[in-house]
Amino acid sequence: MQQPAPPVVGLIVVAAGTGQRLGHGIPKARVLCGGRTLLEHALDAVSASGVAAAVVVVLPPGDTVLAAVVEAAAGAAPRGCRITSVPGGAARVASVRAGLAALPPAAEIVLVHDAARALTPPAVFQRVAAAVRAGAPAVIPVVPVADTIKVVRADVVESTPDRAGLRAVQTPQGFAAASLRSAHNGSAAADPGITDDAMLMEALGVPVRVVDGDPLAFKVTTPLDLTVAEAVLALRRDGRGAADPSPSGRSTDVPE
């Protein structure tokens, strides 16, 4: 008996952030790290993972430099993978929505990845995709929190959550395509406090499963993060690898 074809996976790479905190005066995805843009590194990992049949990169409107990066990646994409780009919106939610609109209707699973997590290992993409294929409607990669976390209000500590139950969230995040589209059409999508797609699913009461992330999937947000990323790449070039590069273990999904 013939086995059914595996579900088609689409992948959105969000690369429309301004990168104000990084301080380079250009979109973050265009910043060089080890001689190549952060977007190039991110697309390398996407291609190496082999999970997606369609990749849509969401770019700052009119950015010809990043458009050329996407065009080059499309020319070198593995067989069976199509890479395209679309302009992003004013906020992350709008950018993801633009990416969703550009994915082929056949995509039953959607992964959403931040280009700023440029060194994310291919295995993280594979774990997330596998969990959604196994039936989870929403999946996020996480790592344990290293620091003690305090809830602070008006410069006074209110409480200290149990660190054992806390996790730092990374990308790619994976979803059943129909569920993600419904979430982006819901009222929660208009909330400016939404910082990732998993929050939209939570607002709909959709259970969000976690899988192991990776310290290398840290988000390049500050100059220190960029320095760490460059050090990781230098270690790779030297053949020494990199164990835990995150400068603080805290790179969660916060607005650009």
Given this model, what pLDDT does residue 255 score? 41
pLDDT (average), residues 84-102:
95
Confidence of residue 2 (pLDDT cuts 50, 70, 90): low
Given this model, what pLDDT does residue 188 score? 80
Given this model, what pLDDT does residue 49 score? 97
Comparing 1 with 188, the larger pLDDT belongs to: 188
Comparing 55 with 239, the larger pLDDT belongs to: 55
Given this model, what pLDDT does residue 112 score? 99
Q: Quick check: helix, strand or coil at residue 249? A: coil
Could you tell me what percentage of the chain is helix, strand and coil, using 3-state DSSP and rounding each to the nearest 5? Answer: 35, 20, 40
Q: Tens digits of per-residue pLDDT, 210-234?
A: 999 999 999 999 999 999 999 999 9
Nearest Cα residue to 146 out of 168, 126, 130, 120 = 168
Confidence of residue 166 (pLDDT cuts 50, 70, 90): very high
Confidence of residue 247 (pLDDT cuts 50, 70, 90): very low
Residue 153, Ramachandran bin (φ over 0: left; ψ between -120 and 50: alpha; else beta): beta
Beta-bridged to residue 10, according to DSSP, are 54, 110
Confidence of residue 256 (pLDDT cuts 50, 70, 90): very low
> Contact, 96 vs 185, CB < 8 A?
no
- The pTM is what? 0.91
Given this model, what pLDDT does residue 252 score? 44
Given this model, what pLDDT does residue 6 score? 80
Q: Quick check: helix, strand or coil at residue 58? A: strand
Nearest Cα residue to 43 out of 130, 122, 142, 110 = 122
Could you check whether the bond before residue 87 is cis, i.e. omega within 30 degrees of 0?
Answer: no
Rounded to 5 degrees, what are φ and ψ at 14? -85, 115
According to DSSP H, which parts of 109-222 are helical?
A: 122-133, 177-185, 197-203
Q: Which residues have C-beta within 8 Å of that of residue 49, sequence separation ≥ 6?
A: 122, 123, 125, 126, 129
Given this model, what pLDDT does residue 172 score? 99
Given this model, what pLDDT does residue 242 score? 58
pLDDT (average), residues 88-93:
91
Q: Which residues have C-beta within 8 Å of that of residue 216, sequence separation ≥ 6?
A: 119, 120, 121, 232, 242, 245
Given this model, what pLDDT does residue 4 score? 72
For the chain, percent of residues with pLDDT exceeding 70: 92
Which range has the worst mean pLDDT, 5-9, 65-69, 157-161? 5-9
Cα separation, 126 vs 231, in Å, equals: 25
Strand extents, DSSP E, the chain: 8-14, 32-33, 36-37, 54-59, 82-87, 107-114, 138-144, 151-153, 156-159, 167-169, 173-176, 209-212
Token representation of residue 223: 């100059």
> Contact, 74 vs 82, CB < 8 A?
yes
Token representation of residue 180: 């993600």
Set out the domains of the chain in order of their start, with CATH numbers: 8-237 (3.90.550.10)
Which range has the worst mean pLDDT, 118-122, 140-144, 178-182, 189-193? 189-193
pLDDT higher than threshold 50 for residue 110: yes
pLDDT higher than threshold 50 for residue 74: yes
